[in-house]
Amino acid sequence: MRRQYSGTAGRTGNCRIGVFAACASTRGRALVDRELYLPKSWTEDRDRCRAARIPDEREFRTKGGLAKALVLRAPASDLPIAWVTADSAYGQEGRFCRLLEQSGVGYVLAVPKSQFSVGCPRVDWLFAQAPARAWERISCGDGAKGPRIYDWAAIRPPAVAEFDYQDETPVRQRWALARRSLSRPDEIAYCLAYAQLDTTVEQLVRIAGMRRAIEECFQAAKNECGLDQDEVRRYPGWMRHVTLAMLAHAFLAAMAAAAAAAAAKGAAETVPAPWSTSPWQRSGGSWQLAVPAARVHHTARPSLTP
């Protein structure tokens, strides 16, 4: 533990920082992998690392480097990975983007406004020239108060032959996206995307909105599984605590998805089968419910004896 900047706290203080991966789909979301970020002041002090039981082979890696390790481990798992989305700390890491492109994985990554874009030195300069009709109002998913609607603009920068073509045939395309707040038009966020040729802007916006899943996972894991409730001082203790909390959170997410599927199935089974003909029949000046005639068999009423 050392004094360092925490994006969650929004300030510098004594804390530990981890890089996490979450898997999100329409059925649910859960944390699936983790790495502890170690500053250079730690990795260069081997005696301090041994005292904290940090493996000798562990060297300094940036947060982007740790994210690369998570991505490289993902294909070996059973997780169906179609897209990667992350905040600007990773979107501005060129090597991280190249790794995803070489792996053939689509991405929508947030970037700072000063980010270089193909064909333009800054991404915000690119969208400063966008005509008014280029902005389209699209929802990037549902939030606690309903659909999260913003104004979006999207443009396709020039292709990069090394990554976007296969035998002179284009197989992928690049996008730059801007998201503008409806209530504060001066607040504009930017993303760079890499996707298959048939990908639509609506799909890219939906993937960009899925980045919110990691924040929801952190909140749920902290509130329900004690992710941040530890007092460990050594590397193995941190890994064990975080891994167990993630496992508990994934179990709860799987149980919630199974319960939702069962409830949806039960609701579908309770829907009555449609009538072959409409039971609403008009007779005179009113509507009557017409039901098929049924035969009633009268049987002897049983006698009660003392």
Mind listing the pLDDT tens digit for each residue in 135-168?
A: 999 998 887 788 899 999 998 888 887 778 877 8
Say if residue 251 is in the same domain as residue 184: no
Report the length, in residues, of the chain.
306
* Residue 276 within any structural domain of the chain: no
Confidence at residue 302, expressed as pLDDT on a 0 to 100 scale: 44
* DSSP string across 58-90: -----HHHHHHHHHHHGGGSS----EEEE-HHH
Same domain, 202 and 240: no
> Which of 104, 115, 97 minimizes the C-alpha distance to 195?
104
Total tally of structural domains belonging to the chain: 2
Label the pairing between strands 146-155 and 172-180.
antiparallel
Instruction: Identify the pLDDT of residue 153.
Output: 92
Tokens for 31, please give them: 């944390």
Q: Give residue 304's pLDDT band: very low, low, confident or very high (50, 70, 90).
A: very low
**What do you get for the CA distance between the two ends of the chain, in Å?**
85
| pLDDT-based confidence at residue 13 (cuts at 50, 70, 90) | low
100 in the same domain as 203: yes
Tokens, residue 291: 């039901």
What band does 279 get if pLDDT is binned at 50, 70 and 90?
A: low
* 279 in any annotated domain: no
Domain assignment of residue 97, yes or no: yes
Cβ-contact 121, 209 below 8 angstroms: no
In a domain, 122, yes or no: yes
Q: Tell whether the model's pLDDT for residue 86 goes beyond 80.
A: yes
Q: Strand, coil or helix: what is 2?
A: strand
- Separation CA 214–CA 87 (nearest Å): 10
* Domain interval for residue 50: 1-84+227-267
| Both tokens assigned to 58 | 């562990």
Confidence band, pLDDT 50/70/90 cuts, at residue 269? low
Q: Is residue 29 over pLDDT 80? A: yes
Look up residue 98 and give its two tokens: 């190249």
How confident is residue 82, by pLDDT bands cut at 50, 70 and 90? confident
Cβ contacts of 68 within 8 Å, gap of 6 or more: 95, 96, 99
- pTM summary value: 0.76
The first and second tokens of residue 288, run together, are 């009557």
What does the pLDDT read at residue 27? 84
Q: What is the pLDDT of residue 231?
A: 80
CA distance 30 to 249: 7
* Residue 294 resides in a domain: no
pLDDT digits (tens, 9 = 90+) for 105-140: 899 999 999 988 776 788 888 888 889 999 999 998
At 164, give phi and psi (nearest 5°).
-100, -10
What the block records as the tokens of 176 is 């730059």
Per-chain mean pLDDT for the chain: 82
Say how many C-beta atoms besides its own lie within 10 A of residue 68's C-beta.
20
Is 254 a member of any domain? yes
Alpha helices by DSSP H, listed for the chain, are 40-43, 46-51, 63-73, 88-91, 94-103, 123-128, 161-164, 201-209, 212-225, 235-269
